[in-house]
Structure 1
């Protein structure tokens, strides 16, 4: 006989299953990616293939007699580039800032030319199907229609896609006059020469600048926020990155670069059942628990691999206890399919075989393990009812929240745990030593809440 909780789980699964079937019919191929940003409260985008990197900068070198929208020139690691304020170029309102205030820059590469453009804020990378881009129309923006490639709606937001090649094209009658004819010769050459002679006071300052750019780009492209939680790994990875790139082209130009940078960040067996080596490391680190019921919250459970892995390990470690795991994720498709996961026996480490049963389409976990896990759709940033937890498992999840969200979630963890409750975070994530005591050693980052 199923419990009320099991019935609820099945009902949620059935409902989600119908919903996902309908959604599957609308699957589209992403063949166009754009970096999105805001200008005067509206959303814009440019083809990611034209974006070299993103940056923050200030104190641009002034160019006399230049066009009003030219903020100056900027030394981008030895390359002198003009910086154009898109707000002034398009006659949009711009907040007055001090000379030292940092501006948000998109660094654009158009053939052999590099430009910096100032925008209000830089949002994220959005992938769309190019066939959904609609022709431009004057009602969609406050800028000249000839500079608009098209408009597209994505997740309830309307993006105006700029044609940066058209904006900066070299037709004499249309190109922006970055520097007036009276100033474009000797002064710009002199400024370029002067800037190129500038040296950074020490190599450490140059490295710090490079590292800051990478941190900002990781957040823009992958929503990976560098904080005290992961700063040690980010800085160590930066030194490795310098060797990999041979000190050339260190900056992350696109999502692929960001993913390559993050490749060594993830914990063992990310996206798969834990292998026997990692499982034994977890098993040997878990302390004795007095409770007859071990309650766990697993936010960011994804497809459920680590939820099943942990359930089996807890069954082995606490043989006489009842195991209860609330596994949640904001990926509806992943979490709705997790309860019915099926495996080929050859793909499952032998330590799990005693918990498997053979079915019509392959092997799945037995009812005892399934009863121990409740999969549900939930965003960890939202309010939840969990209290008096023995353990929270959130491997490689916190780093992909904003700094403010990280602090709020970790504080939430401490409030929901019992005295001396446990938190398992990612291999390269560290909790504050004044509040948490680390029990595990690499690659296990298991922490106990200080009493």
Structure 2
């Protein structure tokens, strides 16, 4: 039995060591492409952009990303590739790039997932990939029966940043809140600014909480419309501060875990499927997985977790921590790998 465990642990160690390059995979004109995750700040969706006169054909406009006005480039137009016709009001898939000291958004057909590979498996580009100039390709790699073309965004945008700067000062839109009149500071305004600054979407699931919090906010800030406005990400996070649990960003405490356990009804179906949005670095997901596995010992459990922070979610499967930083109730669910503890 020990030999089997040792072999499994060795496989985990080898798997972790071999994955030293992560990339965000997406599609353009039916082909699979990717970008080094270190160049990606986040992914987003949007339906409307502010048009900028006299800009280049591939510039779709500018976009308000939580107070930052960034240029939006359509990669399909830039590389003369066919694009899928969008339905009316359908959101565009956007990858927000982080290049030196500026941000840039690029539109693609669809965003797939984060893919981890060994950098030694990356092959040099070849002229056979004629859709895009070879000087813009970092390399190619095969993973899970897919051939990914890795784009060199520094070559595409970084070396000639001034040509991508398409926001003349006279056309820079004012912050989203600036055009609202005092009488328009209402739930609709709050919903828009929460989405702009914190990527928090008001839905039927949380609408009652937001409405209640807005009434508290008016009591807290008074009737002055200027004070009611959410001017920045800091204001938005203050508004949402009571929405998050006390254990946000860390493993659940014993008290919080007991509260969650008391809310779970008995399950006799034998199968549990759970969605964990906003999972961050994975602390909440692992806390939930441990709780469910102990409460429903005979059940088959499947947890889907996602987050806007691509770097955090890509590292979550291989989360390695010092044992002394883990709650005691997790001891029987971890193994030691390279002096660190992993689930």
TM-score (norm. length: structure 2): 0.57
Aligned residues: 274
Aligned match of 2:33: 44
Residue in structure 1 matching 2:110, options 102, 121, 142: 121
Q: 1:264 aligned to 2:248?
A: yes
Q: What is the RMSD computed on CA atoms of the aligned residues?
A: 5.4
2:237 and 2:99 mapped to 1: Cα distance? 17
Q: Is the 8 A contact 1:43 1:158 kept in 2?
A: yes
**Correspondence for 1:208 among 186, 191, 196:** 191
Kindly tell me: are residues 76 and 22 of structure 1, through their superposed partners in 2, closer, same or farther at Cα, counting changes over 3 Å?
closer
Greater RCO, 1 or 2 (C-alpha within 8 Å, sep 6+)? 2
The change in CA–CA distance for 1:138 and 1:268 in structure 2 (over 3 A counts) is: same
Matched, 1:112 2:101: yes
Number of the residue aligned with 2:131: 142
Q: Distance in 2 between matches of 1:43 and 1:262?
A: 41
- Partner of residue 258 from structure 2, selected from 278, 284, 295: 278
Of the structure 1 ranges 144-153 and 205-214, higher mean CA displacement relative to structure 2 is found in 205-214
Equivalent residue for 1:191, pick from 159, 162, 171: 171
Distance 1:279 1:262 in 2: 12
Does the 8 Å contact 1:106/1:117 carry over to 2?
yes
Deviations 1:39-87 (A, max 9, x none): 1122222122222332222333333443221122333344332221100
Deviation at 1:116, TM superposition (A): 1.7
The question of 1:310 aligning with 2:290 is answered: no
Shift, 1:141, TM fit: 6.3
- The alpha-carbon distance between structure 1 residues 178 and 228, as it changes in their structure 2 partners (threshold 3 A), is same
Cα drift, residue 144 of structure 1:
1.2
Superposed, which structure 2 residues align to 1:86-97 within 5 Å? 86-97=75-86
Equivalent residues of 2:122, 2:139 under 8 A apart:
yes
Cα distance change, pair 25–64 in 1 and its aligned pair in 2 (3 A):
closer
- Structure with higher Rg: it is 1
Conserved 8 A contact 2:29-2:82: yes
Distance in 2, Cα, partners of 1:325 & 1:228 = 33
Aligned partner of residue 24 in structure 2, secondary structure: strand
> 1:44–1:232: structure 2 CA closer, same or farther, 3 Å change rule?
farther
**Aligned partner (choices 32, 35, 45) of residue 56 of structure 1:** 45
CA offset digits 1:293-312 (Å, max 9, x no partner): x956254798985477437x
Deviations 1:301-350 (A, max 9, x none): 98985477437xxxxxxxxxxxx92445599xxxxxxxxxxxxxxx679x
Given that residues 54 and 213 in structure 1 are in contact (C-alpha distance below 8 angstroms), is that contact kept between their aligned partners in structure 2? no
Q: 1:249/1:297 Cα in 2 relative to 1: closer, same or farther (>3 Å)? A: same
1:32 shift after superposition: 2.6
Cα distance, 1:191 vs. partner? 1.3
Gap change, CA 1:328 and 1:286, over 3 Å in 2: closer
Tell me, what secondary structure is at the counterpart of 2:60?
A: strand
- The aligned counterpart of 1:68 is 57
Q: 1:205 to 1:149 in 2, by over 3 A?
A: farther
SS of 1:196's equivalent in the other structure is coil
**Per-residue CA distance 1:204-262 (angstroms, 9 max, x = gap):** 556434544689799xxxxxxx976678789999x9xx9xx734899xxxxxxxxx999
1:278–1:92 distance in 2 versus 1, CA, 3 Å: same
SS at match of 1:208: helix
- Give me the whole-angstrom Cα distance separating, in 1, the residues matched to 2:303 and 2:261: 29
SS of the residue aligned with 1:165?
helix
Shift of 1:163: 0.9
Q: Distance in 1 between matches of 2:259 and 2:292?
A: 12
Partner of 1:325: 298
Distance 1:119 1:32, change over 3 A: same
* Structure 2 residue ranges without an equivalent (≥5): 217-229, 239-243, 275-285, 305-327, 333-343
Deviation at 1:111, TM superposition (A): 1.3
Residue pair 2:123, 2:140 contacting (<8 A) in 1 also: yes
1:8-36 CA distance string (max 9 Å, x none): xxxxx99x979957955742433332222
Q: What is the TM-score of this pair, normalised by structure 1? A: 0.45
